[in-house]
Amino acid sequence: MSIKDFDLSTIQENAFVYETHLKNVAKRRALWQAETKEKIELTLQVIQKKFLSLNFLVQVNDFQKNHESVILKIRDHPSGITEGFSEEAKARHYVHKGGVLGFSQMISGKISVWIKFTFVEDIQELEEPVKELGRLEPSYIAEFIIADYVAQFLNEIAVFESKT
């Protein structure tokens, strides 16, 4: 049987779909570098400055190009739980690890929005798994969407902490 005997139309269609996917990945990555990463960072910094009492930290994790994250973290702080009742200076203070809202660039170039819940080190046996809130095209990212995710993050953290 020769190659002429095969119907190559399905392969041709799938090749076109795959090539289109690869082009879209390149476009998403370029948009992330040119606009989206900075837009997320600047918007989170504005929120950080308006809500100083929440002790937010905005951080860009860019040690892997095209697989970067911009996060809003509630800073770690003393949990108020200590070990021992004798001299306060010698008592062990357990750390309350702050929650994180992350905007991470996926392999496809899309943006994954996720939450890491708060955790008291050496007190809670298991950390809650990371919760994904959504996956977005970088072109959809706007200040109001970022702000909505921050509101959702704070709600999720408050509900979670009220249960623990």
pLDDT exceeding 90 applies to what percent of the chain?
63
pTM: predicted TM-score of the whole model, two decimal places: 0.85
The mean per-residue pLDDT over the stretch 111-118 comes to 95
Most confident of 2-6, 60-64, 82-86: 60-64
User: Residues near 105 by Cβ (< 8 Å), separated by ≥ 6?
Assistant: 29, 32, 37, 66, 67, 68, 69, 111, 112, 138
- What angle is formed at CA 155 by the lines to CA 151 and CA 161, rounded to 5 degrees? 145
- What angle is formed at CA 148 by the lines to CA 114 and CA 140, rounded to 5 degrees? 75
Write down the residue that tokens 């100083």 correspond to. Answer: 52
* N residues, the chain: 164
Domain count, the chain: 1
Residue 67's pLDDT band (cuts 50, 70, 90) = confident
The predicted-structure confidence for 79-91, as pLDDT tens digits, reads as follows: 767 677 655 666 7
Predicted local distance difference test score (pLDDT) of residue 58? 97
Predicted local distance difference test score (pLDDT) of residue 133? 97
Domain residues for the domain of 83 are 3-163
Predicted local distance difference test score (pLDDT) of residue 38? 96
Predicted local distance difference test score (pLDDT) of residue 77? 74
Predicted local distance difference test score (pLDDT) of residue 66? 78
